Structure 1
Amino acid sequence: MLELVFITPLIGIFVILITPRDNIARLWRRALDWSLLTLTMTILLWASFDGEGNLQGMMKLKWISSIEPIFGAAPIAIDGISLFFIILTALLTPICILISWNSIRFLIKEFLLCLLFMEVLLIGVFSIFDIVGFYILFEGVLIPMFLIIGIWGSREEKIQAAYYFFFYTFIGSVFMLLAIFTLYSHAGSTDYQALCSLTLEKELQYFIFLGFFLSLAIKIPKMPFHIWLPQAHVEAPVAGSVILAGVLLKLGGYGFIRFSWPLLPDASEYFAPLIQTLSLLAVIYGSLTTCRQVDLKRIIAYSSVAHMGLVTLGLFSHTAQGLVGAVFLMLGHGLVSSALFIGVTLLYERFHTRLVRYYRGVAVTMPLFATLLLILVLANASIPLSSNFIGEFLSLLAAFEYSVIEGVLASLGVVLSAGYSIYLYNRVCFGAPSKYLYFFRDLNRREFYTLVPLILLIFLMGVFPFSVIDVVKGSIIYQEWVSV
């Protein structure tokens, strides 16, 4: 089943390539059909998953046969952690196609190819168990996202934002490459399972961990490596913002789960206080900075910095509930932030401004949109029964177990998130209709069907969390056993 998940978007890419450029409607329909088929394959993959923690669907990808003794046969497999990130990727791709249907007006064929190619790379990142293969796919994602921001961005600063995104993340990944070379020089292999059984000296672990940390911290992003994120979000088209917030920011957290505990346990324990401190700064500083933003996209971008701070807080608490909470929060944040970016883009498409000062009284003229936005704002503030509530609750529980002071400080992020979320909704939707806004139009069917699946999943995960938690917990227990 895993090979079908890979093959389906590749066939979709081929179909788009042979589709005439001038037949725009057919291009959109075929891209949507193949992305929905990929989503179907991922759901069937979940149905075939037996719920155990071990790797499943193992197959060998022979990609550099001339040097196969080194890394010529990269293992491809899934576990309970990678499974849900693959499903999240497959879910957001057709949503990106739907929401971009009328907003992308040139080079449509190239845009759809970038989306499907990025989907293939992301599925590969979450399923490959070879560190060189992971690095290549991890960096390969930069190319289509760089093109999406730089070509189809919304404003004149899009080129600068694209280079910000590319160089910040690429330069950080050089340190990861050095760490991978060091691991290979001591293990003689790049196979992930072989490296899990390797015992390294503490000083060497510290050096390797710093290499991985610099790369993954930029990707999350952590303070003070977050400068590129608001600029990239503001300039990216809606599809770029959705993929960036929904999946790409999760690559950092996923990398920490894969490499910190199983490969470098002593270094993870040694650097935990530093990372916990940076996480607390991200939660508090990110939330306070969000409160003073005036651009709708920047508000959501800085709130992502705060939420991802809670993710690393849970990860480096070194408890099972912290790891489960971090994974759950990443999945929930991927849904909530993606839906919020879609919502603010729908406003921008109607009124051509993202400045909050020009909005007021949207609930009077766009009641359907205002209702859905209220649900998303409350989910972003982690109300009970939402996916964010489960993830933040488990992460804060792990923080309190690590240190009571840390737990109290981290809890400020929950209070502040409720403050800036409700304050944003109050400014945009309540009051008399703004004199600056004309030609109000509520959501059409395409826009409504784009947002509703995300909202349903947000609350399905909150009401039935153990459908995800049990699978993730099994993989975490297995991963800890492997690293012993």
Structure 2
Amino acid sequence: MILMILILVLLFGGIAAGFSGRMNTMLPRWISVGAIAINLFISLWMAAQPNTNSSPWLLQLKLNWIPSFGISFHLALDGISLLMIILTFFLGIIAVAISWNEIHFRVGFFHFNLLWVLAGITGVFLTMDLFLFYFFWEVMLIPMYFLIGIWGHENRQYAAYKFFIFTQASGLLMLMSIIALYFVHGQATDQYTFNYFDLLGTSMNKQTAQWIMLGFLAAFVVKLPVIPFHTWLPDAHTEAPTAGSLILAGLLLKTGAYGLIRFILPLFPEQSAAIAPVAMALGVTGIVYGAVQAYGQTDLKRLIAYSSVSHMGFVMLGVFALTEIALQGVVMQMITHGISTGALFIIAGLLYERIRTRDVTQMGGFWKSIPVASVITLIFAMASLGLPGLGNFVAEFLTLIGSWSANKTMTLIATIGIVFATAYSLRIMQKVFLGKSRLEHHQSLADLTARERLILLPLVIVIILLGVHPQPAIDLAKDGLQKTLNREFQAPKEPKIINPNYQTLTVPATEKGVHHE
């Protein structure tokens, strides 16, 4: 029941945090830290266990939920999803810590929404039932809407509405595709089910498959986001509180990338290959366009937001290159972008707390007064531009190598986009920390406190480790990526099944190397 525990701890922790806020504003903070820390410990423990399976699946839980409609509470964990939930809980603790002194009102409700959005993200990374997947996809939406709309900045309501409309509209298109796939499979096999593994290889004509795939694709490219569906992202990032920007950049965007790998490629392999040139072109356009827009921004958070659009272009390029090396780069990009861009948003939030502005034209010369913050920002700015020795370089290098054999022209253009990344990354350092200060009394700026250093130091360590020793993460995702590309992504062996009366049915002799729950 480990996989269910990961979700329940967050859901019940959120409820406890919400109610405890009425008694003491410190209780929600500690409850949130405790709940996420438990999950982080469990996920790291699972990662440390040797995998002797012949299958990429490490754990599985399947409960009959609404069997008359083919709906089950089906969770499964492989190396890809394990990496994603470790990232979720790691950044979740950072989000609680960075909001410790930033959130001063409705503290309990804030932490309720924070834990529930993490629960939704965890469910998205674990579920193997398409109905349940859509449920968790929607669970992410409402709490994030409240995080932006209540605790955001001046134009928070506009940004929250825009985020909600884009995500909800694209999510409804995915729901239509899920229902269509359900009926197409049922008519072909006389078995109506939302089970992911049963739906793999569903027989349908090419035109039907193309339309169903486009519904899934709409939800994922909007969440990623891909040009031209990106316009909600800069507004949401700019107006969100620091923890909200961290969750958006580090985790919510990754659910779109995860959806492309987990659902688009295995469910629609022929259609994926057919649209690959267009998808790669959109990815490369995003790389260049996002970098150019980032360079032209004066709002620091908006600048970082457009850098996310650029970095997520590498995800589209790598996914639709349809090579194992490129997909390894995509997984690394999902992790390293979450770390580096999340850290830059944290630094932007810390600067805003001190000088009450995000306008880079009013900054400058901060290096002398806040040297520790300056050095840490330099590390993540260099990571963002892909400096060797840091995690982002590994991600982009693998993606470019893997996409070269698929489309040399797109790969060359994407490589040029890295030059623009260098420009906006160096602009951050020049405008904020070097040159002459345009703020009065900037020498009195306080450098990072012990708490703030404790928050940023783990991010520094992780981005360096991923740059110098990325192999453990690559190895963990390798089997799942190979099975995805080879169309061999079959269901793990059945574990104990819980029937509607909750009587345990024990499966006879287990096969060698397969873990059962």
- TM-score after normalising by structure 1: 0.96
Secondary structure, counterpart of 1:384 in structure 2: coil
Cα RMSD, aligned residues only:
1.6
Q: Do 2:209 and 2:271's aligned partners in 1 also have CA atoms closer than 8 Å?
A: yes
**Per-residue deviation at 1:162?**
0.2
Per-residue CA distance 1:286-327 (angstroms, 9 max, x = gap): 111111110000111001001000111000001111111111
- Name the amino acid aligned to 1:400: W
Matches of 2:411 and 2:112 in 1, distance apart? 45
Secondary structure, counterpart of 1:75 in structure 2: strand
Give the gaps of 5 or more residues in structure 2.
186-191, 491-517
**Per-residue deviation at 1:183?**
0.6
Matches of 2:482 and 2:204 in 1, distance apart? 22
- Tell whether 2:243 aligns with 1:236: no
Matches of 1:171 and 1:3 in 2, distance apart? 29
Work out which of the residue numbers 382, 385, 391 in structure 2 matches 1:381: 385
Instruction: Please identify, of 163-172 and 455-464, the stretch whose mean Cα deviation from structure 2 is larger.
Output: 455-464
Aligned CA distance change for structure 1 residues 160 and 20 (closer, same or farther; 3 Å): closer
- Tell whether 2:261 aligns with 1:257: yes
Matches of 1:216 and 1:397 in 2, distance apart? 24
- Tell whether 2:322 aligns with 1:318: yes
Aligned CA distance change for structure 1 residues 20 and 205 (closer, same or farther; 3 Å): closer
- Name the amino acid aligned to 1:452: L
Q: Do 1:361 and 1:428's aligned partners in 2 also have CA atoms closer than 8 Å?
A: yes
Q: Which residue of 2 aligns with 1:353?
A: 357
Matches of 2:441 and 2:180 in 1, distance apart? 58
**Per-residue deviation at 1:242?**
0.3
Instruction: Please identify, of 15-24 and 349-358, the stretch whose mean Cα deviation from structure 2 is larger.
Output: 15-24
Matches of 2:345 and 2:328 in 1, distance apart? 26
Secondary structure, counterpart of 1:365 in structure 2: coil
Work out which of the residue numbers 159, 162, 175 in structure 2 matches 1:161: 159
- Tell whether 2:130 aligns with 1:131: yes
Q: Do 1:36 and 1:94's aligned partners in 2 also have CA atoms closer than 8 Å?
A: yes
Secondary structure, counterpart of 1:141 in structure 2: helix
Secondary structure, counterpart of 2:59 in structure 1: strand
Q: Which residue of 1 aligns with 2:36?
A: 35
Q: Which residue of 2 aligns with 1:118?
A: 117
- Tell whether 2:78 aligns with 1:73: no
Give the gaps of 5 or more residues in structure 1.
none
Matches within 5 A, 1:263-342: 263-342=267-346
- Tell whether 2:411 aligns with 1:407: yes
Q: Which residue of 2 aligns with 1:449?
A: 454
- Name the amino acid aligned to 1:135: Y
Aligned CA distance change for structure 1 residues 51 and 237 (closer, same or farther; 3 Å): farther
**Per-residue deviation at 1:236?**
0.3
Matches within 5 A, 1:135-214: 135-155=134-154, 157-187=155-185, 188-214=192-218
Work out which of the residue numbers 215, 218, 221 in structure 1 matches 2:219: 215
Matches of 1:26 and 1:224 in 2, distance apart? 42
Q: Provide the aligned length of Structure 1 versus Structure 2.
A: 480
- Name the amino acid aligned to 1:86: I
Secondary structure, counterpart of 1:402 in structure 2: coil
Instruction: Please identify, of 112-121 and 472-481, the stretch whose mean Cα deviation from structure 2 is larger.
Output: 472-481
Per-residue CA distance 1:337-386 (angstroms, 9 max, x = gap): 11000011100000000000111111010011001011110011111121
Matches of 1:88 and 1:130 in 2, distance apart? 22
Q: Which residue of 1 aligns with 2:57?
A: 55
Q: Do 1:13 and 1:113's aligned partners in 2 also have CA atoms closer than 8 Å?
A: yes
Per-residue CA distance 1:267-292 (angstroms, 9 max, x = gap): 10111111111111111111111111
- TM-score after normalising by structure 2: 0.90
Q: Do 2:17 and 2:109's aligned partners in 1 also have CA atoms closer than 8 Å?
A: no
**Per-residue deviation at 1:26?**
2.8
Instruction: Please identify, of 322-331 and 43-52, the stretch whose mean Cα deviation from structure 2 is larger.
Output: 43-52
Aligned CA distance change for structure 1 residues 208 and 36 (closer, same or farther; 3 Å): same
Matches of 2:297 and 2:422 in 1, distance apart? 15
